[in-house]
Structures are given as structure tokens and as C-alpha cells.
Chains A and B, each alone.
Chain A
């Protein structure tokens, strides 16, 4: 998937001089490219991902997905994009607390090829939360929830993975496990990666974009 940004600027930054490779610039996210968006808090990392997912439009400039302006993408096309082409890990994880881990994962409308429930349970075991499979998400720690969110996002088909500080509450061991899982899935899907981070993810060998 290819994404082109032309002079995009969030409305809240209107009139403010910003030194950024994203805002008020032209940026191309290449097909199968792997990027980290490096920035401190308050620079609009989350807003950037929301703009790309079509969830917010409080910005000026233009965003194109596969040469099509976001504003011109119809509801039906968005459904297809969100179902099989774009996947995301939000900073607030967006899990449903009163459902179990299994039920949260089953919310995926379509599993990726080769990823049935048995395969997913194996990943859950690899990430050390197998005993939480039938536990309500409300009862999990933030780090455990983060692993559930990562599993849910990568078990569907996608062409780009958008992550908003996905390892913020993981220890080093689990961070490594999750990173290698993500990289494996990127290879399988031949997909792009866009990950926002405070300090960078050097182990993943990503191109850096300063926000």
C-alpha cells in the first residue's frame, strides 16, 4: 500500500511554525516500506494515524491512499480497506473490557490466511498469556492487554500496519517477541509498517521520519 501526504497540517497547528518531515511537507509511504515516526509527546503522532485511517479530518492538505484522495473514498471502500488492507494498534488499545481475550480476537471480521483460532492460540501461548484466553480483558494488566491488541491486529489480512506506541508497557523480552512476530507477519503479508515511537525501535531496522 502506498500513502502520499501533501502539505498536511492538523488544524491545531495552523499558523505555528513546525520543523517536521510530516506536517506541511510532502511525504511518501512506499509499498512494503517500514517506517518509524519519531516524536515527543504532543507532536500529533496519534492524530497522524487517525488521519490515515480516515477517522479524523480536522487537517488541511491532502492524503492519498493508493493514489486516491481520502475525501473521495466511499464508505464501502473504507470497509474493504479496514477489513483487509489496513490494520492498527491504537495507543488506548481499543479492546472491549467486558469481553474475554478470545471474544476480543473473534471480533476480527476475517482471519488472515493460515491463521485460524488454533494458530492464534499458539501465538497467545508464545506471548505468555495463554491462561488469559478465557479471562475478561478488564482483569488483565496493561502489558497483557497490549499483547492482546497486537495479536488482534496482526491476525487479519493487511497491506499496512499502523501502530501507535505498541510496546510502551512491555518488558524487553515481550517487546522482542512482539517485534519479531510483527516482522514475521509483515513478511508474510508483504505489507508496509508505520510505527510511532518516542525513542525509536532500533531492533526493527526501520526508516525514521521525524514528526
Chain B
């Protein structure tokens, strides 16, 4: 029956349509995967929920001249706590001593850097309280690492032509906190128990920071330049307006990744739209190609129907032919998509950004949806056209 129905074909039209399907499908797979991974980036392991913000005062030129205090007073904190839309509010404790983080692990070169430690009340963090606590009998201090720090560390490793560290891997790296003045530093082994986009400093349990502030203070006064504020459910907008009206802002670190993600998402949505349009155009071309084949064998179709063949039998010939074409195109697109994502991910890794590895479920889902849509459209078009000759 194939010989009968596929006697005249316009190869050029078929090639253009196939190229369109290939490009559209490849683009849509890449875009969906990137969109999904960008959305998930840092989400799974973030410790603050969507209703919680790290808040600070907007710093103007006056601050450099000593006008306007960046610290929050007890009255200011109390005033925020009393707002209807605020569920809870607490000052972030900072270290009052010199502290260095030191990586002491054979798998990566020795690395140390001056850092800041901060601590917030446990109620704001999504970590079981027994994991994020400390007392003098504990061997290691549990810490939460800012994701920016990991990006910086990976940039350093990349420059040294060393393999980059994923979030999973770095949690197993041996790390120390060196506390105190040069020459009198005391080593505290540290264990990373999570990551955050919300803080630019390393988070330590308040029990540790309070103890260390008492034991190793260099005489600096208490700094309360940042607050952590949790809005009541559904009242996040009110909190944001309040911050805007009162000269307060979210921590720029907290917003940076979100802005990056939303900017990237907008671009990717554009690419997805473009790919869908390309796919629709290719589908139209494929339908035209099918109709051309069908119009070239109207006589044969009529004879077959008059001899007692069913519309379904003949439709299945076209369905089989186009399903094989779509299957081959899907395999080619998937291969191109996989290779492209490997290149994109290696570029991101080189920039210190380690995304989730593997193929996104949504990409597989998109592939299936496009395949099924194409097959159903071809099936319906072939059936309808053949039926007109019944």
C-alpha cells in the first residue's frame, strides 16, 4: 500500500518541514530544561520560605558622613513586630571577632578567606533544630553557606583548572573556622548543612555565635544592621510596601539571584514562544506535505475504498510513515538538545553556577506532548481527507 500511496512526493517541502520540526523541538527542549533548572536553582535547599525577607536600611550618601544610623534600635524592631502583616521579626546577630574560613581538604587546594558570621533565630530557618545547634561538647560547628560563596569558590577552582564542586560535594569537604587575632587563632571544624540565597554571610547557630561573641569579642559594639522579617500568609505585598515607604530594603544578595532568575525566565519564555511558533509552522508544512501526497493519490484512495478497504487502514499507512519520521526527528532533536545542554552547563559551571544535572522531566514531557500532538494532528488530517473520498 505504501508503493500505491507514496508515488509522488515533494522532497523539498518535506525537508523544510523536517528541519523546522527539528529546530523547533530542539529549541523547545533546551528552553524548557533551562527554564525548569533556573526555577529550581537554589530553591530546594533554601532555608528561608517565600514569606521571609532579610531587611536593612537604605544606605544614602549621608551614611558615609555619619548621618543616619544603619543599625536598628529596639524601638524600631518593636514597631515592625507590631505590624498586622508581620508574623515575626528578629535582629540578625553578627560576629564581633575576626574569623576566617579555611578549606582543609586534600581534594581541593588550600583556601582561606576572611568572612562574616551571622545568626538568626531558629524559627526563621527551615532546618531541624537538633541539626543547627551547638555546644562546647560538639566536635564541629554546623554552618549554612551563602550560595554566592560557592559560586566564588567555583570561580577560583575554575581559574586554577580544578574540577568545580557541586552543592552535594562541598558538604563533604573539610572546613575550619579560624577565630581570633592572627597568631592566637583557635580552630573550630565546621560542617556545611545547607545553602542559602538570602544571606551573604555564613550562618552559624545562635548558641555558637553568642558564645563566640562573649569569648572572643574584639570590643566592637553590637551591630544590628539587618533584620529577618516574616510576613503573615498572603501579606507579603504589604510587607514589601511597608519597606518601600519606610526607607528599608531587602538584602541585595537575596534579590540578586531572584532577579537573575526572573530575567533569565523572561528570556526563556521568549525562546519557548518562538519554538512553539516554529513547531506550529513546521506542523502546518507537514500537513501541507501530507495533503499533497493525498491529493496525488485521490484516484488510488477511491479505488481502495470501493474495493472495501477502511478509512482507518489507509490512514494507518500515513500514520505509520509520519510516526517514523517524527520518531527519528525526536531522536535527532533530543541528541542535539542533550549535547547543547552539556555545553551550556559546562559554561555555567565555568562561571561557578552548578545546576542540577540530568534531563528535566519537563523536557521529556514536552517531547512527548509535541510527539503526541503531531501524531494526532496527522491522524485527524489523514482520516478527514480520506473520508471525503468515501
Contact = CB atoms under 8 A, between A and B. Distances in A.
Interface of A: 53, 55, 75, 78-84, 88, 94-96, 98-99, 103, 107-110, 156
Contact of B306 (A55, A103, A110): A55
Contacts of A75: 311, 387, 390
Given A75-B311, A75-B390, A96-B300, A82 B7 contact: no
Given A107-B304, A107-B307, 11 more contacts: A82-B308, A84-B308, A94-B302, A94-B306, A96-B299, A96-B300, A107-B4, A108-B307, A109-B307, A109-B309, A156-B307
A88 B306 CA distance: 9
B308 A79 contact: yes
A83 B308 contact: yes
B308 A109 contact: yes
Contacts of B311: 75
A123 B217 CA distance: 112
B328 interface: no
A75 B384 CA distance: 13
A89 to B, nearest CB: 11
Contact of A156 (B302, B303, B308): B308
A98 B303 CA distance: 14
A79 B312 CA distance: 11
B309 A94 contact: no
Interface of B: 3-4, 7, 299-300, 302-311, 313, 387, 390
A108 B309 CA distance: 8
Contacts of A110: 308
A130 B269 CA distance: 67
Nearest to A99: B4
- Max chain A C-beta neighbours (<10 A), residue from B303, B308, B313: B308
Contacts of B310: 79
A83 B310 CA distance: 9
B303 A82 contact: no
Nearest to A158: B308
Given A75-B390, A96-B300, A82 B4 contact: no
A96 B303 contact: yes
Which of B305, B307, B313 has the largest count of A CB atoms less than 10 A from its CB?
Answer: B307
Cβ-closest 9 pairs across A and B: A83-B308, A82-B308, A109-B308, A79-B310, A94-B303, A109-B309, A107-B307, A96-B300, A79-B308
25 contacts: A55-B306, A75-B387, A75-B390, A79-B308, A79-B309, A79-B310, A80-B308, A81-B308, A82-B306, A83-B307, A83-B308, A83-B309, A94-B302, A94-B303, A96-B4, A96-B299, A96-B300, A98-B7, A103-B3, A107-B303, A107-B304, A108-B308, A109-B307, A109-B309, A109-B313
Contacts of B4: 96, 99, 107
B307 A53 contact: no
B305 A82 contact: yes
A101 to B, nearest CB: 15
Nearest to A84: B308
A47 to B, nearest CB: 16
B107 to A, nearest CB: 71
A81 B307 CA distance: 10
Contact of B390 (A78, A83, A84, A94): A78
Contacts of B3: 99, 103
Contact of B307 (A55, A80, A82): A82
Nearest to A88: B306
A94 B305 CA distance: 12
Contacts of A53: 306
A79 B305 CA distance: 8
Contacts of A83: 307-309
Nearest to B387: A75
Nearest to A95: B303
A71 B300 CA distance: 25
A96 B302 CA distance: 11
A104 to B, nearest CB: 9
Contacts of A88: 306
A156 B4 CA distance: 20
A125 to B, nearest CB: 23
Contacts of B304: 107
A99 B305 CA distance: 17
Contacts of B390: 75, 78
A152 to B, nearest CB: 8
A99 B5 CA distance: 11
Nearest to A78: B390
Contacts of B387: 75
A23 to B, nearest CB: 24
B383 to A, nearest CB: 11
A83 B304 CA distance: 10
Contacts of A84: 308
Contacts of A94: 302-303, 306
A115 to B, nearest CB: 15
Contacts of B303: 94-96, 107
A78 B311 CA distance: 11
Contacts of B306: 53, 55, 82, 88, 94
A80 B310 CA distance: 9
A99 B1 CA distance: 11
A55 B389 CA distance: 9
